Structure 1
Amino acid sequence: MTEGRRFRILIVEDDEKIASILADEFVRYGYDVVLARDYANIKGEFVAARPDVVLMDINLPRYDGYYWCRQIRTVSRVPILFISARSDQMDQVRAIDHGADDYITKPFNLELARAKVKAAIRRAYGEYAAAGEADLLRVGPLVLDRATNRVSCGDRTVELSPKEFRLLWCLARRAGEIVGRETLLEELWDDTEFVDDNTLTVNVTRVRRRLEELGLTGVIETKRGQGYRLNAGWGE
């Protein structure tokens, strides 16, 4: 596992036997596993589960895996691996075109499945990650996606401006700690000499309003004379 972190996998597979085999295998190797149940709302299940990786069958009730892959891609860039009995190359090409990261054909070898998941995790979060830091950050019920400037809570999602998102990301990375105004100003603006201190206050107010659209209040606390703190315990 990357840097001792415990990763979570969402398995979207309506064949209960296959889903159970996969779940048992990944739990045995130290992963957290969530099994999708509501096949009419896989996107909602994804947002609620906040997984690091998705294993997705193509043939599903209601809508196929291609559809749900596209839906997930509107809110996240987490690795998505298809598992399917369809072995035709065009199906694999189609999967990649719809946003998947890899493709595992049934019947599959469990060791190969583990290896592909591990490789996807290394690329997204570990030694092969482009910027050395994942695009996805989770704090309590909040999910921040740096690739899209979107913030999610449950089944609600809002898109922030670049400055608003950078402000929230900076606070979220140090959730529970007081982040000084100077630190935030330096994080958000290249030349702080020409930035009115009130500009930071205005941006904090804007972020609070966007969080209220997600049904969250009191998330960002003002510490007079010091700075701001993301209250890490508000979702408990």
Structure 2
Amino acid sequence: MFKIMIVEDDRTIADLIASALTKWQFEAHTVKDFNTVGEQFQALAPDLVLLDINLPVYDGYYWVQQIRATSQVPVIFISSRNTNMDMVMAMNLGADDFVNKPFAIEVLIAKINALLRRTYNYGDTGADTLVHNGLTLDLQTGAASAGDQQINLSKNEYKLLQILMRAHGSTVSRSRLLKDLWQDERFVDDNTLTVNINRLRRKIADAGLPDYIETKVGQGYIVP
């Protein structure tokens, strides 16, 4: 489950965003102490940050620079300051996108999903591998291994495994997987996901790790 950090001092807007993110099965964290945004970022290690410009203590421009000093995590500015200079400054300091207030929550969610797909399915995540329960996934080559056993993955199998490994310990819904793998799941047969999951399971089991991916009936899948 992706963790989203919301740095927004308008409590109504922050709560609205958090509620929408929760419905989309993200893990939403709202900042309440604006003196310690940097410390909270380090402790949470979010997968994406939503950042307002006008904040108590230090503004969003300051905090994006602090974040960029240690991390390449995706950052989306959400602000009523919508001049060209504001947008240019935000992007030059390291933001990945800019959303003007007032905004439609559906537009914000779409931008978050698109940025997460680009960053965590195809981009450099800041680490070369994911390792969990005896399985190693190489994020540079898309290959997996269990001990000395190599596991050759298709593009979709790699995406599925990466999402499930990142969310290990949490159930990932079929709807979320469909959305992340196929941008418009309305045009994908639901059985396509089942086929890809079963094929991935067999490959991992053949490498000596049976039952690596569990089914949660009526919910989705989990790597425990």
> TM class by shorter-chain length?
0.5 to 0.7
What is the Cα deviation at residue 176 of structure 1? 4.9
| Alignment gaps of 5+ in structure 1 | 1-5, 136-144, 147-168, 184-236
Q: CA deviation at 1:62?
A: 0.6
Match of 1:103 in 2: 98
TM-score, reference length from structure 2: 0.58
Q: SS of the counterpart of 2:73?
A: coil
SS of equivalent residue, structure 1 residue 103: strand
Partner amino acid, structure 2, of 1:39: F
Displacement, 1:177?
A: 3.7
Instruction: Report the Cα distance in structure 2 between the residues aligned to 1:81 and 1:175, rounded to whole angstroms.
Output: 29
Indicate the SS of the match to 2:88. helix
Is 1:33 aligned to residue 28 of structure 2? yes
Q: In structure 2, give the amino acid aligned to 1:83.
A: I
SS of the counterpart of 1:83? strand
Deviation of 1:43 (Å): 1.2
Task: Tell me the secondary structure at the aligned position of residue 4 of structure 2.
Answer: strand
What value does the CA root-mean-square deviation take over the aligned residues?
2.1
Does structure 1 residue 174 correspond to structure 2 residue 135?
no
Is 2:75 aligned against 1:80?
A: yes
**SS of the counterpart of 2:116?**
helix
Which of these two proteins has the greater Rg computed from alpha carbons?
Answer: 1
Amino acid in the other structure paired with 1:8: K
Q: Which runs of 5+ in 2 are unaligned?
A: 137-146, 149-224
Q: Please report how far the alpha carbon of residue 8 of structure 1 lies from its aligned counterpart in structure 2 after TM superposition.
A: 1.1
Report what 1:61 is aligned to: 56
Whichever residue aligns with residue 19 of structure 1, its letter is A
Show structure 1 runs of 4+ deviating over 6 A.
none
| CA displacement 1:57-87 (0-9 Å, x = unmatched) | 0000110001000101111111000000011
Q: Distance in 1 between matches of 2:84 and 2:5?
A: 25
